[in-house]
Amino acid sequence: MNALLTRLGGLVTVLFGISFITFAVTHFAPGDKALAIAQARYPGEMGFDAEILEGIRDEFHLDRPFISQYLHWLVDFLTGDFGRSYSSHSKVWDIFAGNLEETFSLAITALTLGLAAAFLLAGLAVWRKGSLIDRFAILLASVGAAIPSFWLSILLILLFSAHLGWLPAYGTGTLAQLVLPTVTLAFWVMSSQTRLLRSFLLEAYDQPFVETLRLRSVSEREIFFSHVLRHALSPALTMIGLDLAGLIEGAVIVEIIFARSGLGSLLAGSVLARDLPVVVFLVMFFALTYVLINTVIDLVQTFTDPRHLAGERNAV
Amino acid sequence: MFFSKFSKLSLISALSTLAAASASAENRAPKELVIAAPFGPKSSVPDPRARQNGWLSNRAGVSETLIGLGYDMSMQPRLALSYENLSQTQWKIALREGVKFHDGSVLTAADVKDSFAKLDAEGHPAYNPRLSKLLGLKSITVEDTHTLIFETETPNSAFLWTLTEPSAAVMKDGYDDYPLIGTGPFVFEKAVTEKTYVSRGFADYWGGAPKLDRLVIDAIPDGAVAALALKSSDVHLVSNYPEADFAKLEEDQAGQRFAASTTRLFFYQPRMDGGPLANDALRQAVSLGLDRDTIVAASLAGVGGDVANSMFPANMTSWVNPHLMLPYDPAQAKALLDDAGIVDNDGNGIRELDGADVVLKLRTYEGRAALRPTLEISQAMLQQIGIGAEISIGEFGANNDALAAGEIDMHLQAWGTAPQGDPDYFPSTLVATGASYNIAGYSNPDLDALLEQGRSLFKTEERQPIYAKVQDIVNQDLPIIPLFHKTQVSVGNGKVIGYQIHPAETYLASPELDLAE
């Protein structure tokens, strides 16, 4: 219970700090904020009448001191009023909700596919350590880690859309349009997780309990599935959690290249348009996602791993 | 008996032929043109009158303005058949007859008045204080079903030009079946924020039924992906094709290529009320030392820009002063500097002015791909004539502040010089004494007098010589140093018919736009 409260307290503090820093960065960014808002509202226009800029200053209380503006924003934020987009005037929440599903479905599909491939490859690599399969897994993981997502995306479009004509090059909404972005992200997940899983599994195989189990004539299959895999899952869970958080952000590049709806392309578009209410909200959301996933993983490990429980008891 | 059998067979055969023909007509695949564009709609129901939504709906042929802009940037009748200046503040506008809205209702003068009234209705999706301010309307009077009198608060020679702005669209309030009701050749179907804008042909369009059944404008921000989407036949036309790839197509004489200059000008704004560039000779030398051809070749693959000889592009025939030149002449630049005593005394390769090395601080901002390379190339070119340059990237507004404070010497920018076709907008905003974006502190009473005179005249032929002179003065004094006008390059799949690039980049769809079988 103490651990839970400590974690939640930390979470609130981190989020408060992030909100302050994010707001301060946007507030103290160089240039006239009223002009930036006007340019977000009327993209392509450079010059604005002084009266228009004055109206914007009044509308957004830009003449108030920083702390007053921050507290005003914070109260609105905490009461669920996330503001409106400068460029479309739509509610930030509506824009966010309209894009969440696309990113979420892409991230989950990529994570599932990537993890399945990683488990298979890492399992085979450990099963036949030093074999061709093992070397192939290591090579694939290294190459995958070195290939940037944007390059792989273009390569996949070139092959499967432009040359073979099998899949659409861009877009959102159909299953076919989900394939190439999913493969791009899944490849990244597979690469990072294969490397890690392989080392976690090998580390687990080196534990003395494995030898004990063998001496007790437990089958290799049972040792792997019932003991080694379970042992390796604990550290893997942390990395998978971070990958999930990373995937939501990694979607930025993939969504832009494949011209998909989603939080990634929304963030990039909002930054370019200097649509600050949307940018601030998304930064808060991504921070919350990271912190929440980390907290959940820590808590799961705390309550499932006997060593963590023992550590906590010793600490108390 | 035989005859009867024969008749029956003939009848069956004729009926079958008719049925087949009818089925063939019904089953004809709808003609759908898919265009890849770099930007998408800002909301799911983007009212053309609000913000810059009109830009896309005007391109998509959904909304129309009273007056249009031709491909030479001259005014053209659109929903208004004629327009007459009654006094310095009054305009009589006669509407085209037989124009129908997309819901089938007929356009009347009352509809136009109602549409413009929404610009001031705070909370209405069409609310647009910026356009309202530009129009400066005092009243709109409906004289009869097809005639209106617009009255402005003050004399405003740009009034008719402002009516060409896509936000000045004439729209009816939408409802479920027709969320946006315009008068254009295409009916709004749906929009997905930043992704797609879909419209269908409007058979009752006053200019004739469009040849296309459907028009889809998909936002694909990455030019390389858009080019691949064209290759994979996912789209039929890429409106903003990557310049380097376009140059390759030009070289190979391949692809269905379209290119035209736009009014978007890339230029330097030098600081003139202090610092080294207050020196006229140095400013002239900077302009002479910039090889605009090389800048276009290096930053836009030689196809993405047209060298600027004035603030207006050469294809803006209604206003450009065709006699002006901004030559590249490094020898003359050096001679000019030598004559002005700006010479390299200490032999470090940099000339000195008032005992100090001339090292200009140049800055630009992110947002347009050609800005950064232009800045880098300029640095190298200035070095060739003995002028040092430090380059940096900032934020547009912050760069203006830095220019005003004397922290930088030149600000590289890109502006649409005539977004509504009116030649007064750009000089009056950037170079008139005390103008809001005359950050450089430039002042020339002769130029101010010309601009004032230009604003007080209402006939194009009377204004033309004035703005020609304005361009001449600007080229001599160089309160802005024009570099190049952005050229838009598009590529089709070889079957696109009736497509033309507009200098204002605000027109695209027309009834003639078609896709060959």
Chain A residues with beta carbon closer than 8 angstroms to that of B42: 87-88
Alpha-carbon gap, residue A188 to B82, rounded angstroms:
62
Q: Which residues of B452-462 are buried (b: 16+ CB within 10 A; e: fewer)?
A: eebbeebeeee
The region of weakest confidence among A156-160, A187-191, B321-325, B477-481 is A187-191
Chain A residues with beta carbon closer than 8 angstroms to that of B399: 31
Q: Cα dihedral sign for B166, B169, B174, B177?
A: negative
**CA of B429 to nearest chain A CA: how many angstroms apart?**
7
Interchain pair A162, B228: CB under 8 A: yes
Identify which of B42, B129, B398 has the shortest CB distance to residue A87.
B42
Chain B residues with beta carbon closer than 8 angstroms to that of A259: 195, 218-222, 225
Identify which of B51, B396, B416 has the shortest CB distance to residue A41.
B51
Q: What residue type is B35 in one-letter code? A: I
Query: Tokens 């079957």 appear where?
Result: B495
Alpha-carbon gap, residue B434 to B440, rounded angstroms:
10
pLDDT bin (cut points 50, 70, 90) of residue B68 is very high
Alpha-carbon gap, residue B468 to B330, rounded angstroms:
27
**CA of B54 to nearest chain A CA: how many angstroms apart?**
11
pLDDT bin (cut points 50, 70, 90) of residue A314 is low
**Mean pLDDT within A266-279:** 84
Element (H, E) at B68: strand B67-69
pLDDT at site A12: 85
Question: Domain limits of chain A?
Answer: 2-78, 92-315
User: Where do runs of H (alpha helix) occur along A206-228?
Assistant: 208-215, 220-222
Give which of A189, A109, A80, A97 is closest to A144, Cα–Cα.
Answer: A189
**CA of B339 to nearest chain A CA: how many angstroms apart?**
37
Q: Report pLDDT digits (tens) over B340-392.
A: 999 999 999 999 999 999 999 999 988 788 899 999 999 999 999 999 999 99
Alpha-carbon gap, residue A209 to B38, rounded angstroms:
60
Compute the mean pLDDT over every residue in chain A, rounded to the nearest whole number: 84
pLDDT at site B1: 42
Q: Among all residues of chain A, which has the CA nearest to that of B37?
A: A259
Q: What is the DSSP string of B351-383?
A: -EETTEE-EEEEEEESSSTTHHHHHHHHHHHHH
A99 Cβ partners below 8 Å, 6+ apart?
A: A261, A262, A263, A265, A266
Tokens at A184, concatenated: 């791009």
Tokens at B208, concatenated: 């004739």
Per cent of chain A over pLDDT 70 is: 93
pLDDT at site B23: 47
Q: Report pLDDT digits (tens) over B198-252.
A: 999 999 999 999 999 999 999 998 888 999 999 999 999 999 998 889 999 999 9
* DSSP strands (E only) in chain A: none
- Is residue A65 scored above 70 in pLDDT? yes
- Is residue A308 scored above 70 in pLDDT? no
Identify which of B220, B222, B228 has the shortest CB distance to residue A161.
B228
Alpha-carbon gap, residue A288 to A290, rounded angstroms:
5
At A130, is the secondary structure helix, strand, or coil?
coil
Alpha-carbon gap, residue B248 to B393, rounded angstroms:
30
- Name the pTM for this structure: 0.82
Identify which of B192, B218, B228 has the shortest CB distance to residue A157.
B228
Q: Report pLDDT digits (tens) over B148-180.
A: 999 999 888 889 999 999 999 999 999 988 999
User: Chain B interface, mutation test: which of A59, A100, A151, A170, most B Cβ atoms within 10 Å?
Assistant: A170
Interchain pair A45, B419: CB under 8 A: yes
Q: What is the DSSP string of B118-168?
A: GGG-TTSTT--HHHHHHHTEEEEEEEETTEEEEEESS--TTHHHHTTSGGG
Identify which of A42, A170, A269 has the shortest CB distance to residue B225.
A170
Compute the mean pLDDT over every residue in chain B, rounded to the nearest whole number: 90
Q: Looking at domain A92-315, does it have CATH number 1.10.3720.10?
A: yes
Tokens at B127, concatenated: 């609310």
**CA of B6 to nearest chain A CA: how many angstroms apart?**
51
Identify which of B219, B367, B394 has the shortest CB distance to residue A259.
B219
Chain A residues with beta carbon closer than 8 angstroms to that of B226: 170
User: Chain A interface, mutation test: which of B162, B193, B197, B240, most A Cβ atoms within 10 Å?
Assistant: B193
pLDDT at site A88: 80
Chain A residues with beta carbon closer than 8 angstroms to that of B430: 47
Q: How many CB pairs under 8 A join A and B?
A: 132
Q: Among all residues of chain B, which has the CA nearest to that of A273?
A: B367
Q: Among all residues of chain B, which has the CA nearest to that of A47?
A: B437
Q: What is the DSSP string of B85-129?
A: E-SSSEEEEEEPTT-B-TTSPBP-HHHHHHHHHGGG-TTSTT--H
Identify which of A38, A169, A171 has the shortest CB distance to residue B228.
A169
Q: Report pLDDT digits (tens) over B484-512.
A: 999 999 999 999 999 999 998 899 999 99
At B69, is the secondary structure helix, strand, or coil?
strand
Interchain pair A258, B225: CB under 8 A: yes
Name residue B91's beta-bridge partners: B85, B150
- Is residue B190 scored above 90 in pLDDT? yes
Per cent of chain B over pLDDT 70 is: 95
- Is residue B21 scored above 50 in pLDDT? no
B252 exposed, middle or buried (CB, 10 Å; 0-12, 13-18, 19+)? Answer: exposed
